[in-house]
Structure 1
Amino acid sequence: MMQSVVKSIGAEAINKEEPLLILFDTSATESLKKHAVIQEFSEEAINEIKVGDTLRFDDQEYKITQVGPVANQYLKEMGHVSIVFKEIGTEDQLANALYVEPFELPVIKEGTTITYG
C-alpha cells in the first residue's frame, strides 16, 4: 500500500462531463498543473498496482478494474496516472490509466489522502 497527499488541484482538473482525473507529482510543469491533481507521495518506493486493488480518496473507495500497460511505469517515474471513472471502452483505452468502479468522481480537496493498494 502506498499513499500520497493532494497538494493542489488545477483550475481545469475536474470536469463533471469528463469522468477522469489526471494526477502528477510535484515535478509537473506549470502548464500541466492547470489540468492535473498534484500529489506528493509519502514514500520513495511506488508499489505495483494490480486489478482488484483498491484506490481511496480519503474515505471514498474504488475498485481497480483495469491497469493500463504503462500506468505503473509512469506512476513510478513521474507520479503520473489517469484515473478513469467509466466503463472501459474497446477503442479509447488510455495506456497510463487506472479504470475504477464506481463510475463517480470523488470529492477531493487540497490535503486529501490518496491510498493505492
Structure 2
Amino acid sequence: MITSKIVEIGPNAIVENDPLVILFGPEATSNLKDVAVIQKFDEPHPEFKLKRGSQIKIREHSYTVSFCGKLVNANLQGVGHATLCFEPIPDTPLESAVYLSPEKFPGFAVGDKLTYIF
C-alpha cells in the first residue's frame, strides 16, 4: 500500500465533462502543474505494482483498476505521474493511464489522500 496527498491543483487540471485527471509529483514543471493534480508521496519514490484488480482510494471513494498501462508503474515511481481515467476502456487505451471502475469522477481537493492498494 502506498499513500500520497494532493498538495496542489492546477487551474486547468479539472475540466468539466472530462472524466480524467493527470497526476504528477511536486517536481513537475510549471507548464505541467497548470494541467495537473500534484501529489506528494508519504515515502520518496515508492515501488508501484498496480495491475488490473488493484484498488485506488480517493478520500472515501474506492475504485478498482480495470486497465493499467505498461508505463504507469515506472512513471508513478519516477515522477509521480499517471492519468486516472473514469471512463470505459477504449479500443486503444493510453499506456500511461489507469482506467478505473466505477466510472464516476470523484472530484479532487488539496489535502485529499490517495491510497494505492496492490
| TM-score, length basis structure 1 | 0.95
Match of 2:74 in 1: 73
Classify the secondary structure of the residue corresponding to 1:105: coil
Match of 1:88 in 2: 89
Task: State the Cα distance separating 1:107 from its structure 2 match.
Answer: 2.3
**In the TM superposition, what whole-angstrom CA distance separates every residue of 1:63-107 from its partner, at most 9, and x where no partner exists?**
11010011111111100000000001113x111111001111112
RMSD over aligned CA atoms reads 0.9
Q: How many angstroms apart in 2 are the aligned matches of 1:81 and 1:9?
A: 15
**Residues 48 and 74, structure 2, Cα contact 8 Å, conserved in 1:** no
Match of 2:40 in 1: 40
2:86 maps to amino acid: F
**In the TM superposition, what whole-angstrom CA distance separates every residue of 1:20-74 from its partner, at most 9, and x where no partner exists?**
0000000000010010000000013233111111111111111110100111111
Higher alpha-carbon deviation: 40-49 or 17-26 = 40-49
Moved over 4 A (4+): none
Match of 2:52 in 1: 51
Q: Which runs of 5+ in 1 are unaligned?
A: none
Q: Which runs of 5+ in 2 are unaligned?
A: none
Q: How many angstroms apart in 2 are the aligned matches of 1:100 and 1:112?
A: 18
Classify the secondary structure of the residue corresponding to 2:32: helix
1:114 maps to amino acid: L
Q: How many angstroms apart in 2 are the aligned matches of 1:46 and 1:28?
A: 19
